[in-house]
C-alpha cells in the first residue's frame, strides 16, 4: 500500500498545479472530491486484494 501511495503522489502532485490552471481550481477540487468519494466506496466493497490496491491508488 505504501508503494502505491508514493507512486500516486509522485504522479499527481506535480500535475495538480497544471490541472488547476487548465480546468479551474474549483472544477478540479470538485472532481477530486467526487473521485475520492467513489474510490473510497469501492475500497469498502472490494472483494479481493488486487481490487483493494487499485481502488486505494485512486483514493490517493
pLDDT at res. 34:
94
pLDDT at res. 59:
77
Contacts for 1 with CB less than 8 Å, ≥ 6 apart: 53, 56
pTM summary value: 0.70
pLDDT at res. 56:
81
Question: To 10 degrees, the CA torsion angle through 38, 41, 42, 43?
Answer: 120
pLDDT at res. 24:
92
pLDDT at res. 12:
81
pLDDT at res. 26:
93
pLDDT at res. 37:
92
Residue spans of the chain under pLDDT 70: 1-2, 4
Amino acid at each position: 500500500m505504501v508503494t502505491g501511495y508514493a507512486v500516486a503522489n509522485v504522479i499527481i502532485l506535480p500535475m495538480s498545479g497544471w490541472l488547476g490552471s487548465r480546468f479551474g481550481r474549483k472544477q478540479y477540487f470538485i472532481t477530486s472530491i467526487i473521485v475520492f468519494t467513489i474510490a473510497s466506496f469501492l475500497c469498502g466493497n472490494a472483494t479481493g486484494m488486487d481490487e483493494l490496491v487499485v481502488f486505494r491508488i485512486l483514493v490517493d
